[in-house]
Structure 1
Amino acid sequence: MDILLLHMCTSIDSAPVRRQPLDEYNTPSGVHSVLGQPPPIDAREDGSTILCQRLRCRLNDIECLLNKTKSVQWEFIALPTIPFLEQPVTLMQLRSVGSSVFPDIRFMIISGNEDELFEVTDHHSTGYEAGGLLLMKPIFGPATYVLQLRMDNRNRYDYIISTHYAVVTIIVSGYRF
């Protein structure tokens, strides 16, 4: 992902952080990182979220105006080793920010699912289109998976209106607990 736009990042459990290029972000501990590379494991907690939203483009900046990326979000999930899985387990929910007259949201995993352990599903709930990241197979640790997810909001003519990314780091313990 080559995205260099100004944005505002917010840790869900803290105040907004300063504006900066979109290939960097802040955590409450002050750690900086490049998109797709999570901060050190000890800097984040299970279930914590960092969300970066795009700021307005300058009127004469054509490259910025044509870029459909609206937000980048980082999620951190800790799991035990799961040796038996009878049915898929929902790890997180993905949802569009607002409803649309013609909602057509498409969710996809861009990278990090080489072992095909995860899947993204689409479903509708209360007028909003939503999706879920599912664990489909048993998972063994210790291991770390970094998934890059993409959500495209399309209009009725199938053109992309906006794109949202999520970088999900899943840390699997070697223990079953």
Structure 2
Amino acid sequence: MEGLSVGTFGLLMMTMMCFHQFVRSSAQECPSTHDLLNSLRQVEKMLELHETSYQQGLRSLRKKINALHNSTMAVFKTGRNESCPKPDPPAHGRRLGRVFEVGHEVHFLCKPGYELIGPRTRVCLDTLKWSGQQPMCRYLNVTTSSLASLSSPALSFTISAASSSSSSATSPSLLSPPTSSSPSSSIRPSNCTHFLGSTHCTCDVGFTISGRDNQICTDIDECHLFPLAQPGRLCIHQCINTPGSFHCICPPGYNLASDGRSCTDTDECESQMHNCTADQVCVNTYGAFQCVTVECPKVKNATFIKTSPMRCERNPCMLEDKACSQAPNSISFHFLAVVSNMSAPRVLFRVSAARVLGDTLRFGLAGGRGRGHFSVQRTGQQTGTLLLVTPIKGPATLEAEVEMSELERSNLLGRYLTKVTLFVSPYMF
């Protein structure tokens, strides 16, 4: 009550006495109600002023404590260097991280075609030294591999894929990736940092911390966590686990795609990596190629000549030669490459007539291997469509013969045959 005036304090005391006497029904004269309310307002204002003064004093005290702490730390830091020496990036690699103070981390990556040997992450310890050993990048010898390097703060790995087996024989052989069964490679000590009385242990990327007191780092088997049959799988074909990483491998005839996980077919026909002869046609398939020979059939009383690499036409028939007239007017050859277990129904091929001489045009399935997988439907006035009605598990080679017949008043004017050959890959990609 130090801030209250003497008069106000006296008025308050008198008010309290009057209230006490009023209870005892005394007749002593007391201050009026107006004077009493004024006194209470003055007391309320005084209390608010005291509260404001207390808050200001508290804030001033906090500022002084912070200033004292900062000045103490500045004095402490002036006597020593709190940064570790700048680590050099490994040859054929690079370093990630520009802060080298105590407690901070730096990360290391290798260029494509190189493998990181040593820790991927190093921590600046309170001894002003980096944890672990200086890493290095080792060259990977590959024959039929294309390497891709992927990295992110949460995940870092190297992926390799086998390509066509027809690559140059002078290429060096692919190194066998290390397996997670080796204790020396799948288990390693953790990187622990002791700072200001506390211990913080970390593992290199691709390892998880375990063991008593978090002193052991165990390799994460990414291939086991993301199997091929699960959505979000790591590799579309084969995954090989390695210490701290994994490899995606493609089958022969494929190259690793730009995403580092998928496999893209190698076109041996376009790249001239086939062994087809001059009288053969190279047909690229998924994962391989086929050398096919297109020959005109031999039919009794009919002669076919090759008018293009994929077409044979019948010579004119003798008058009243029914055997010759029943033979196809032309035979076309088409080759399609498909993946295994392709979904059905699916359109494979369309046959159309450039012009119609008769009054009727019919489409049907004449023959071929694997007829149970195919069907022919009329999809237009002059168009028929070859459909795949059941999936085909590869590897397999199937044929379908689509026949287009032209009639005039139910009399056959001509038959046109289209032979479609399907090369089904053993893979679903």
TM range (shorter): 0.5 to 0.7
> Which structure has the higher relative contact order (CA within 8 Å, separation 6+)?
1
2:347 is the counterpart of 1:98: no
Contact 1:88 1:134 in 2 (8 A): yes
In 2: Cα distance, 1:164 partner to 1:101 partner: 14
Q: CA RMSD in A?
A: 3.0
Give, in whole Å, the separation in 1 of the partners of 2:319 and 2:356.
Answer: 30
| Counterpart selection for 2:412 from 145, 160, 163 | 160
1:123 is matched with 379
2:170 is equivalent to residue 170 of structure 1: no
Deviations 1:18-55 (A, max 9, x none): xxxxxxxxx983149xxxxxxx92247xxxx7111223
Q: Equivalents in 2 of 1:104, 1:43: separation in Å?
A: 31
Which of structure 1's runs of 4+ aligned residues deviate more than 4 A? Answer: none
Of 67-76 and 94-103, deviating more is 94-103
Matched letter for residue 103 of structure 1: T
Equivalent residue runs for 1:7-22 within 5 Å: none
Q: Percent identity?
A: 20
Letter in 2 for 1:62: D
Q: 1:121 is aligned with what amino acid? A: Q
> 1:5 maps to what in 2?
none
Structure with greater strand percent: 1
TM-score (structure 2 length as normaliser)? 0.28
2:314 counterpart letter in structure 1: R
Cα separation, 2, equivalents of 1:123 and 1:139 = 24
Determine the C-alpha separation between the residues in 1 that align with 2:404 and 2:357: 15
Aligned residues: 132
Aligned-partner SS, 1:66: helix
Structure 1 144/65 Cα, relative in aligned 2: closer, same or farther at 3 Å?
Answer: closer
Q: Which residue of 1 aligns with 2:387?
A: 134
Which structure has the greater CA radius of gyration? Answer: 2
Which aligned pairs between 1:57-68 and structure 2 lie closer than 5 A?
57=317, 62=321, 66-68=325-327
2:336 aligns with one of 77, 92, 109: 77
Deviation for aligned residue 1:77: 0.6
Which residue of 310, 327, 336 maps to 1:50?
310
| Distance in 2 (alpha carbons) for counterparts of 1:28 and 1:144 | 21
Distance 2:277 2:396 in 1: 25
Aligned partners of 1:96 and 1:28: how far apart in 2?
A: 33
* 8 Å CA contact 1:72, 1:164 repeated in 2: yes
Cα distance change, pair 61–102 in 1 and its aligned pair in 2 (3 A):
closer
Task: Judge conservation of contact 1:119–1:133 (CA < 8 Å) in 2.
Answer: yes
Query: Residue 23 of structure 1 aligns with which residue?
Result: none
Partner-residue secondary structure (3-state), 2:291: helix
**Contact 2:363 2:377 (C-alpha < 8 Å) held by counterparts:** no
Task: Give the TM-score of the pair, scaled to structure 1.
Answer: 0.62
Q: Give distance in 1, aligned partners of 2:324 and 2:374.
A: 33
Closer, same or farther in 2 for the Cα pair 1:41/1:56, shift >3 Å? same
DSSP 3-state at the match of 1:69? coil
**Is the 8 Å Cα contact of residues 68 and 160 (structure 1) preserved in structure 2?**
no
| 1:29 equivalent in alignment to 2:286 | no
Letter in 1 for 2:313: Q
**What's the CA shift for 1:111?**
3.0
Q: Deviations over 1:82-116 (max 9, x none)?
A: 25x2x5211110112313462322322323234x1
> What is the distance in 2 between the residues matched to 1:122 and 1:149?
12
